[in-house]
Structure 1
Amino acid sequence: MQIVLPGALPDPREARELTPHMLKTAPTLGRWLEHSRATVTQASPGVSGCTPYERWQLASRGFVPRREQNFCAGLGPLWGAGQTAAGAPGVPVWLAELVHVSPSREGARLLAARQLDITPDESVALFAAAHSAFEGSGFQASQLATEHWRITIESDFSPVCASPRLVSLSSVNEWWPQDAAARPWRKLVNELQMTWFEHPVNLARQERGLPPVNSLWLFGGARPEQFPAMQEKEAAQVHEALLEPMLAHDWGAWLQALGELETRVLRPLANIKPALVLIGSDKYVELKSRGRLAGLLPGGRISWRNWWSPRD
């Protein structure tokens, strides 16, 4: 059994201050940390082009990016798996996510599809309206799911992208392609924004107080064969209750969510000692039990603090 906890790794300085509160709030987790062997993986979003949780998902399935790719490239075939076209060997899988983009102090802000509550009917209507914009653009689109479209690129355009989730946590300007090769894609997105501006779907969403779906975000580009371990594996239990408090640096809410996880998830598994994956803002740590004797070795009970709250 494997339990994955996105948001479970505060930044080092905050982690040091939170340590006694964490141990009091989640004693089961504290004992697991003392008796586990840790593997730390650095997962800088600026390098990988995706969140540490997304990077772990890709790495756990054996994805290996090519020299010209970042880890975000693998999200195409990962999220397109199970679709016949998306799984064709040798064919790069590009996806576009339905998003909302609006002005901000940093230039532009993006809301990912998971933040928009898009319905299947809305997605179908927006796709139908986009047909004319794609004609002669050098791109083709097919519906993959409510939130994602499959994009076929007719040229050799192959941008290094960022995941919509990562962009939603930073700024569009940091990731929006500005080079000449991306001009056709920028033109297409501009035409879609004009097409959807007063679309009935968005007018109805605004009446309900919801942000309009007014843009697409392109990402992916890897091929299915870059997943040598794409075979079925035991599904991990993912609990995201810590993620939003960590991103907001709301440590009171973080400790409250941790206490609820202790009661509902961790304590009932105290004797099972599942494998753990703790995920932070720029790394993740995989933990496997070393047995009770490990805690009796010199420094064994405190060695976890070296990665939990490292000092520069």
Structure 2
Amino acid sequence: MRSIMHATRLHLLLPFALPSAADAATALHNLVTPALDRLVARGTLVERVIGEDFQRTLPHERWVARQFDAISPTQPAADEAPLAPYMLLADGGEPGDATWACIQPVHVRIAHDHLVLIDPAALDLEDDEAATLLAVARPLIEELGVRIEAPKPTRWYLSSDTFGSLAGASPLRASGRNIEIWLPHEAHTGERSRAWMKLQNEVQMAWFEHPVNEAREARGLPAVNSIWFHAQGVALPVRSPFAQVLSDAPATRGLALAAQAGAGSQPASFAAFAPTATAGVTLVELDPFSAPYVEQDWARWNDAFAALEADWLAPALAALQADRIGELGLTLCGDTGSVTLTVTRNDLRKFWRRRVFASLFIE
């Protein structure tokens, strides 16, 4: 495990930690977070990004991409973040200068009159199952002249000029929703890609009634019945504003690697660290909230916040008060927008600041 001992400044990135205003009453029910309350009350509001309902990427993805200058100003869609090449790099591949998209095996559920994507993490897909399904899909994909790399069993990467400027949507952006508007389309025209639909259909048919899926359904698990396309783009030269990046998200780790910054896994808690006064910002991405947020399981989301308070926020506040860290940054994200605060020891003395957590929620 990497240490953040030498970081004078710590920044916590918290995906799905910011409910919408509509969910506030339910999400905050019985939530007791005195450390968060004090940090929010005394902190300096650095940035508030409202976002839009139908952006195809997630606020934390766009925030990270902006920090590393990975979003090109010439991109046709301002909300797109070309993260697949960096994800491939984090997974052990070599993106080079090719255009890559991330492909994930998924379950699409039939609702009354539409199709709904299930959170890929909820599949509990084993590596050997994914490898078997990939072995079936690979020749079908390569027959169409598409290059495929699969350094991780459940995350594949495709490169093809045929897909041109296709825009997909992050799986968690579309999960739990009617997938119609989130399916891949040409970024310039909005039209569906026949090439992608052909590839997708070939894979779906090959997996239909496959022994892997029959065994999964016998165990009460959802079948793996489709593939999801997202994050397409070309790796741009990036720079890191962070001395060290600790995250389990492949996009975040890949950006750090591309920028030649220190990169490591998400730490278990703040307790392992003893920061000292040396220059540098450490970014820690903590993500206990995604699954309960997407599933609208606010009791579990509440429990995750209680754990975050105990493991990270209260100890970080104590370190700030004791001058063991010089600054604490917080970026809290929802599914459309994000809010960034910074807090210093001096800020904690500004008793007249009385911002409440609910004031950060995005309409």
Per the normalisation by structure 1, the TM-score is: 0.83
Say yes or no: does 1:79 pair with 2:126: no
Structure 1 residue 132, shift from structure 2 partner: 3.7
Q: Which residue of 1 is the match for residue 268 of structure 2?
A: none
Are 1:50 and 1:72, in contact at CA under 8 Å, matched by a contact in 2? Answer: yes
Q: Which of 275, 296, 302 is 2:329 aligned to? A: 275
Q: Distance in 2 between matches of 1:243 and 1:85?
A: 26
Q: Which of 100, 118, 131 is 1:93 aligned to? A: 100
Q: Which of 214, 217, 232 is 2:261 aligned to? A: 232
Say yes or no: does 1:152 pair with 2:163: no
Are 1:113 and 1:147, in contact at CA under 8 Å, matched by a contact in 2? Answer: no
After TM superposition, the structure 1 = structure 2 runs for residues 159-308 of structure 1, keeping only pairs within 5 Å, are 159-177=166-184, 182-229=193-240, 230-233=259-262, 236-249=283-296, 251-273=298-320, 274-292=328-346, 295-296=349-350, 300-303=352-355, 307-308=359-360
Q: Give a deviation string over 1:201-237, Cα, whole Å, max 9, x none.
A: 1122112211111211112222112534333256644
Are 1:37 and 1:289, in contact at CA under 8 Å, matched by a contact in 2? Answer: yes
RMSD: 3.1
Relative distance call for 1:106 and 1:286 in structure 2 (3 A) is farther
Q: For 1:259, what is the secondary structure of its paired residue? A: helix
Gaps of 5+ in 1: none
Structure 1 residue 156, shift from structure 2 partner: 5.8
Relative distance call for 1:251 and 1:172 in structure 2 (3 A) is closer
Amino acid corresponding to residue 275 of structure 1 in structure 2:
G
Q: Give a deviation string over 1:95-114, Cα, whole Å, max 9, x none.
A: 21111112123511112432
Say yes or no: does 1:109 pair with 2:120: no
Structure 1 residue 309, shift from structure 2 partner: 5.0
Q: Which residue of 2 is the match for residue 5 of structure 1?
A: 14
Q: Give a deviation string over 1:23-61, Cα, whole Å, max 9, x none.
A: xx1111111112211223426364541222322332333
Gaps of 5+ in 2: 1-9, 241-258, 264-281, 321-327
Say yes or no: does 1:44 pair with 2:51: yes
Q: Distance in 2 between matches of 1:2 and 1:238?
A: 8
Amino acid corresponding to residue 308 of structure 1 in structure 2:
L
Identity of aligned residues (%): 25
Q: For 2:230, what is the secondary structure of its paired residue? A: strand
Amino acid corresponding to residue 270 of structure 1 in structure 2:
L
After TM superposition, the structure 1 stretch with the greater mean CA deviation from structure 2, 63-72 or 211-220, is: 63-72
Q: Give a deviation string over 1:59-105, Cα, whole Å, max 9, x none.
A: 333321442145444221221124675431x3212221111112123
Say yes or no: does 1:57 pair with 2:64: yes
After TM superposition, the structure 1 stretch with the greater mean CA deviation from structure 2, 245-254 or 271-280, is: 245-254
Relative distance call for 1:20 and 1:86 in structure 2 (3 A) is same
Are 1:3 and 1:275, in contact at CA under 8 Å, matched by a contact in 2? Answer: yes
Amino acid corresponding to residue 3 of structure 1 in structure 2:
L
Structure 1 residue 174, shift from structure 2 partner: 1.3
Q: Distance in 1 between matches of 2:164 and 2:177?
A: 24
Amino acid corresponding to residue 8 of structure 1 in structure 2:
A
Structure having the larger proportion of residues in helix: 1
Are 1:45 and 1:166, in contact at CA under 8 Å, matched by a contact in 2? Answer: no
Structure 1 residue 248, shift from structure 2 partner: 5.0
Structure 1 residue 140, shift from structure 2 partner: 2.8
After TM superposition, the structure 1 stretch with the greater mean CA deviation from structure 2, 25-34 or 58-67, is: 58-67
Relative distance call for 1:199 and 1:251 in structure 2 (3 A) is closer
